[in-house]
Structure 1
Amino acid sequence: MNAGSDEAVSSIPTSAPLRELLKATPLIQAKQNLTLQQRKMYNILLYRAYPRLGIDPIHTLRVSQLCKDLEYRSRNIREIKEDFEALKNTRVEANIFGRDGTWKEWEAFEALAYARVTADGVCQYAFPPNLIPRIKNPRLYARLKLSVSNAFGSRHAHSAWEYFVDALDTRRKERLQVVMSLDELKVLLNLSTSAYPQFRDFSKRVLTPMVREINAYSDLAVCVEKIREGRAVQTIGFDVQRKVPLLDPPAVQLADPQALPPEEPALDDTIRKRLAHFGFRARSIERLVSQYPSDYIAAHLDIAEEKVRRGAIHTSVTGFIVKGLDLDLRGAGTTPIEEQLQQQVHAAKATALQAAQQEAIEQAERGGRLRARNSALEARLAALT
Structure 2
Amino acid sequence: MSICPAITPPSNVPKATGTVEIAEPSGKLTLADRQLFNHLLAHAYRRLITDEWHTVQMSEIRRFAAEARGGTPENDNRRMKDSVKRLQATVVEFNYLRSDGGRVWESSPLLSTCRIDERLGSLQYSFPSGLRERLVEPALYSMISLRVQWEFDSKYGLVLYETLKRYADRDAAQPWWSVKTSELRDLLGCRDKLTDWKDFRRRALDPALEEIDRLAEFRVLVIETRQGRGRGGGQVVAVTFQIERKPKEDAAATVRELDKPKVQRRGERRAKAEDIVSAVATRKALHFLTGAEAGTRLKWVKRAEAMGIELPKAASAVENLARWVPQIAVALVAEERIR
Compare relative contact order (CA 8 Å, sep 6+) and give the higher one, 1 or 2. Answer: 2
Cα offsets for 1:44-67 (capped at 9, x unmatched): 101111122233321111110111
1:215 to 207, 213, 216: 213
Superimposed CA distance per residue, residues 234-273 of structure 1 (whole angstroms, 9 cap, x where no aligned partner): 03332212335x4xxxxxxxxxxxxxxxxxxxxxxx7883
Alignment CA distance shift 1:188-1:58 (3 Å): same
> 1:144 maps to which residue?
144
> How big is the shift at 1:89?
1.8
Distance 1:276 1:36, change over 3 A: closer
Question: What is the distance in 1 between the residues matched to 2:198 and 2:222?
Answer: 14
Aligned length: 254
**Distance of aligned partners of 1:163 and 1:60 in 2 relative to their CA distance in 1, 3 Å threshold:** same
1:97-144, Cα deviation, whole Å (9 max, x unpaired): 3579x6522222221121111223211101122322222343211111
Amino acid aligned to 1:31: A
Change (3 A) 1:20 1:223: same
- TM superposition shift of 1:203: 2.1
Matches for 1:1-385 after TM superposition, within 5 Å: 1=1, 8=3, 11-13=5-7, 15=8, 18-32=10-24, 33=27, 34-71=29-66, 73-98=73-98, 103-120=102-119, 121-169=121-169, 171-173=170-172, 175-192=174-191, 194-229=192-227, 230=229, 231=232, 232-234=234-236, 235-244=238-247, 246=248, 273-274=252-253
Structure 2, unaligned stretches of length 5 or more? 67-71, 258-267, 274-278, 281-339
Gap change, CA 1:275 and 1:80, over 3 Å in 2: closer
Distance 1:148 1:128 in 2: 27
SS of aligned partner of 1:130: helix
Q: Counterparts of 1:145 and 1:228 in 2: how far apart (Å)?
A: 34
- Distance change in 2, residues 1:61/1:55 (3 Å): same
Distance verdict in 2 for CA 1:130–1:155, change over 3 Å: same
Q: 1:226 Cα deviation (Å)?
A: 3.5
Inter-CA distance 175–75: structure 2 relative to 1 (3 Å threshold): farther
Query: How many Å apart are 1:207 and its aligned residue?
Result: 1.9
The normalised TM-score by structure 1 is: 0.58
Give the number of the structure whose alpha-carbon radius of gyration is greater.
Answer: 1
Whether the aligned pair in 1 keeps the contact of 2:13 and 2:146 (CA below 8 Å) is yes
Instruction: Provide the rounded CA distance (Å) in 2 between the counterparts of 1:46 and 1:275.
Output: 26
1:82–1:195 CA distance, 2 compared to 1 (3 A): closer
| Residue 233 of structure 1: how far off its partner (Å) | 4.5
Instruction: Deviation per CA, 1:337-378: give whole Å up to 9, x if none.
Output: xxxxxxxxxxxxxxxxxxxxxxxxxxxxxxxxxxxxxxxxxx
Are the counterparts in 2 of residues 115 and 123 from structure 1 also a CA contact under 8 Å?
A: yes
How far apart are the structure 1 equivalents of 2:133 and 2:22? 16
Shift of 1:150: 1.0
Q: Which amino acid aligns with 1:162?
A: E
**In 2, Cα distance between the equivalents of 1:94 and 1:139?**
17
| Structure 1 residue 218, shift from structure 2 partner | 1.6
8 Å CA contact retained: 1:41, 1:70 = no
State the percentage of identical aligned residues: 27
Shifted more, 177-186 versus 42-51: the winner is 177-186
Distance 1:218 1:151, change over 3 A: same
Q: Aligned-pair RMSD on alpha carbons? A: 3.4
Distance 1:76 1:173 in 2: 45
Verify the 8 A CA contact 2:216 2:254 in the aligned structure 1.
no
Question: Do 2:109 and 2:128's aligned partners in 1 also have CA atoms closer than 8 Å?
Answer: yes
TM-score by length of 2: 0.65
Amino acid at match of 2:43: R
Contact 1:44 1:69 in 2 (8 A): no
Distance 1:125 1:228, change over 3 A: same
Change (3 A) 1:176 1:233: farther
Q: Which residue of 1 aligns with 2:324?
A: none
* Residues 174 and 123 (structure 1), Cα distance of their counterparts in 2 relative to 1, 3 Å cut: farther
**1:277 positional shift:** 8.7
